[in-house]
Homo-oligomer: A and B are copies of this chain.
Amino acid sequence: MITNPPRSYDPRTFKALTFHDVIPRFREGSDTPRAYLERCLATIDAREPAVKAFVVRNDANARAAADASSARWKAGTPLSAIDGMPIAIKDLLETKDMPTEMGCEAYRGNVTNRDNAAVWALRQAGAVIIGKTVTAELGGTHPGPTTNPFDAACTPGGSSSGSAAAVASRMVPAALGTQVGGSVIRPAAFCGNIALKPTQGAINRGERQTTSMSTTGVHAGCIEDMWQVAIEIARRAGGDPGKLGLFGPAVPPEATKPQQLIVVESAGWSGLDAASRAAFEALLEKLARAGITLLRRKDHAWIEALEQSIRNASDIANTITAWENRWYQSALVELKPQGVSARLKATVKKAEAMSPEDYRSLLLQRAAAQQCHQALAPLADAIIMLSCQGPAPLWPGDVPGQPLAPRPTGDSVFNTPSSMLHAPCVTLPLLGVNGMPVGVQLMGQQHEDARITTMARWMQQAISPVVMP
Give chain A's interface residues, CB within 8 Å of chain B: 96, 113-115, 117, 120-121, 204, 206-207, 209-213, 234-239, 241-242, 244-245, 323-324, 326-328, 330-332, 335, 355-356, 359-360, 363
B120 and A330 form a contact (CB under 8 A): yes
B206 and A96 form a contact (CB under 8 A): no
Closest B residue, CB atoms, query A324: B241
A331 and B207 form a contact (CB under 8 A): no
Q: Could you show 13 A-B contacts with beta carbons less than 8 Å apart?
A: A114-B332, A114-B335, A115-B327, A209-B209, A213-B242, A234-B356, A235-B356, A236-B327, A238-B359, A242-B324, A244-B360, A245-B356, A245-B360
A327 and B120 form a contact (CB under 8 A): yes
B209 and A121 form a contact (CB under 8 A): no
Q: How far is the CA of A237 from the CA of B121 in the complex (A)?
A: 32
B115 and A331 form a contact (CB under 8 A): yes
A327 and B245 form a contact (CB under 8 A): no
A335 and B210 form a contact (CB under 8 A): no
Q: How far apart are A391's CB and chain B's nearest CB, in angstroms?
A: 33
Q: How far apart are A181's CB and chain B's nearest CB, in angstroms?
A: 14
Q: How far is the CA of A355 from the CA of B245 in the complex (A)?
A: 11
Q: How far is the CA of A26 from the CA of B221 in the complex (A)?
A: 67
Q: How far is the CA of A47 from the CA of B115 in the complex (A)?
A: 41
Q: How far apart are A104's CB and chain B's nearest CB, in angstroms?
A: 13
Q: How far apart are A322's CB and chain B's nearest CB, in angstroms?
A: 12
Q: How far is the CA of A315 from the CA of B304 in the complex (A)?
A: 47
Q: How far is the CA of A238 from the CA of B351 in the complex (A)?
A: 12
Q: Copy number in this complex?
A: 2
B241 and A210 form a contact (CB under 8 A): yes
Q: How far apart are A235's CB and chain B's nearest CB, in angstroms?
A: 6
Contacts of A323 in B (CB 8 A): 238
Contacts of A212 in B (CB 8 A): 241-242
Closest B residue, CB atoms, query A325: B241
Contacts of A326 in B (CB 8 A): 237-238
Q: How far apart are A150's CB and chain B's nearest CB, in angstroms?
A: 35
Q: How far apart are A270's CB and chain B's nearest CB, in angstroms?
A: 30
B96 and A335 form a contact (CB under 8 A): yes
Q: How far apart are A108's CB and chain B's nearest CB, in angstroms?
A: 13
List 7 extra interface pairs beyond A244-B363, A245-B359, CB under 8 A: A115-B331, A120-B327, A120-B328, A209-B241, A210-B241, A238-B359, A244-B360
Contacts of A206 in B (CB 8 A): 210, 327-328
Q: How far is the CA of A117 from the CA of B115 in the complex (A)?
A: 23
Q: How far apart are A127's CB and chain B's nearest CB, in angstroms?
A: 15
Q: How far is the CA of A239 from the CA of B360 in the complex (A)?
A: 10
Residue in B121, B244, B360 whose beta carbon sits within 8 Å of that of A327 in the complex:
B121
Q: How far is the CA of A245 from the CA of B327 in the complex (A)?
A: 14
Contacts of A211 in B (CB 8 A): 241
Instruction: Given A209-B210, A210-B209, A235-B356, check contact A114 B241 (CB 8 Å).
Output: no
Instruction: Given A206-B210, A210-B207, A363-B244, check contact A96 B331 (CB 8 Å).
Output: yes
Q: How far is the CA of A271 from the CA of B160 in the complex (A)?
A: 54
Contacts of A204 in B (CB 8 A): 327
Q: How far is the CA of A2 from the CA of B237 in the complex (A)?
A: 46
Q: How far is the CA of A121 from the CA of B331 in the complex (A)?
A: 10
Closest B residue, CB atoms, query A236: B327
Q: How far apart are A86's CB and chain B's nearest CB, in angstroms?
A: 21
